[in-house]
Homo-oligomer: A and B are copies of this chain.
């Protein structure tokens, strides 16, 4: 996972640092903390995390499109509407999804939301409480209530690492990415993203969370910015093609309440930084996919529109045959091209080009067996592998991210009750 190339310093207005996973640094205005409150009884692990703002900051959230909804999706939507998109605190538990728990689940969420709001001293609707983990089981409400005071007391500027641990379920690694940005026309700022997810799993399914925090320039429409960013990042990520009832992405900007009107350049700079962080988080999630041994970046070029490129890229990234071929280190251009061919985007396979790493394996309607050795070595020797298709139907491009499909994926998802 190569970080993005830094924007050269000689550009007049902007300079962006590299997206880094060196330290989990919070943007200013935020504090975080985490605790093991005992939701997951089998395992001693941080399972409840808090991020709290110095005051209520503008935020927008996108939730799963699944019709089966976790309780938090319903309550958080209501709260954001009632608060006018202002968020003071984000509380997240792992180990229990509070999903398919009926009215009781909504009540439990609201009770904890209210208790935390009282401790912090803000209206309940400014608190978002989200859950991930087992579905169909009631939250251990008392355990969570008992842990809130400690979380609030211990929240600090260096608490994000613990928070990232607390939201993990079957993730093997915590997922934090951060970038520092210098802006000539204003103060420097930071964008930090924290995420979790590695497939829908244990015991029933798990969730993708992406929380994007910033102290960057104000943006006029945080929801619109988040939508565009998600379309270019989280919506291009697939581990197994399944969607969880709890998936949530949040964008939360501590400086957005500034009276100063943002310049278009500043807004663009913030947008690019949040996008970079989001895409890096996606790659981290894909790389940590259940049973994964390879991070797969699918590049589609020569498409009529970016949307078309994205559709083709996601279809290839979802194809079990493509993903098993990568697992077998097999430069199987036929499966890549066949997946592209069924994506629903019009193109002529005889004009298309397919590459694996730097090796062209198919073009002008014909395979290039002489390049398959190089393609095989690319799959064999790199943790991040590149599969590319040029549709020869335009100039738009898009990437999608996934992982290879290993026997371990099946084992993880089939065997947990045995």
**Contact, CB under 8 Å: A204 / B136:** no
- Is residue A306 contacting chain B, with contact meaning CB distance below 8 A? no
Judge whether B329 and A200 touch: CB under 8 Å. Answer: no
Instruction: Identify the closest chain B residue to A362 (Cβ).
Output: B100
Is residue A406 within 8 Å, beta carbon to beta carbon, of the partner chain? yes
- Does A383 belong to the interface (CB within 8 Å)? no
Partner of A204, one of B334, B340, B346, B350: B334
Indicate whether A321 reaches chain B with its CB closer than 8 angstroms: yes
State whether the Cβ of A29 lies closer than 8 Å to any Cβ in chain B.
no
Q: Are A67 and B342 in contact (CB under 8 A)?
A: yes
Q: Using a CB-CB cutoff of 8 Å, which residues 400-418 of chain A contact chain B?
A: 405-407, 409-411, 413-418
A335-B205, A338-B205, A349-B68 known; A102 vs B410 contact (CB < 8 Å): no
| B-contacting 9-mer, from A2-10, A151-159, A236-244 | A236-244
Contact indicator A319/B242 (Cβ below 8 Å): yes
Q: Is A347 an interface residue (CB 8 A)?
A: yes
Q: How many angstroms between the C-alpha atoms of A102 and B342 in the bound complex?
A: 19
Other-chain contact of A205, B244, B321, B405, B414 (Cβ < 8 Å):
B321
Is A266 an interface residue, CB under 8 A from the partner? Answer: no
In order of increasing CB-CB distance, the 7 nearest A-B pairs are: A328-B414, A204-B334, A324-B413, A68-B341, A407-B407, A67-B341, A327-B414
Other than the known A66-B342, A67-B340, A329-B417, what 20 A-B pairs have Cβ atoms closer than 8 Å? A68-B337, A68-B338, A68-B340, A68-B349, A100-B337, A205-B338, A241-B318, A242-B321, A242-B338, A243-B341, A244-B338, A245-B338, A245-B341, A320-B320, A321-B413, A325-B413, A325-B414, A329-B418, A407-B410, A407-B411
